Amino acid sequence: MSWPYLAPILMLCASNLFMTFAWYGQLKFPGTPLYWVIPISWGIAFFEYCLAVPANRIGYTVYSAAQLKTMQEIITLLVFALFSVSYLGERLHWNHLAGFACLVAAAYFMFK
Instruction: For residues 92 and 23, give the distance between their C-alpha atoms in angstroms, rounded to a whole number.
Output: 19
pTM: 0.85
Classify each residue of 83-99 as buried b or exposed e, where b means 16 or more C-beta atoms within 10 Å of its C-beta.
bbeeeeeeeeeeeeeee
**What pLDDT does 1 receive?**
72
- Long-range pairs for 34-42 at CB < 8 Å and ≥24 separation? none
Query: pLDDT (tens digit, 9 = 90+) per residue, 75-108?
Result: 998 999 999 999 999 999 999 889 888 988 888 8
Which residue intervals of the chain are DSSP H helices?
A: 3-24, 34-59, 65-86, 94-110
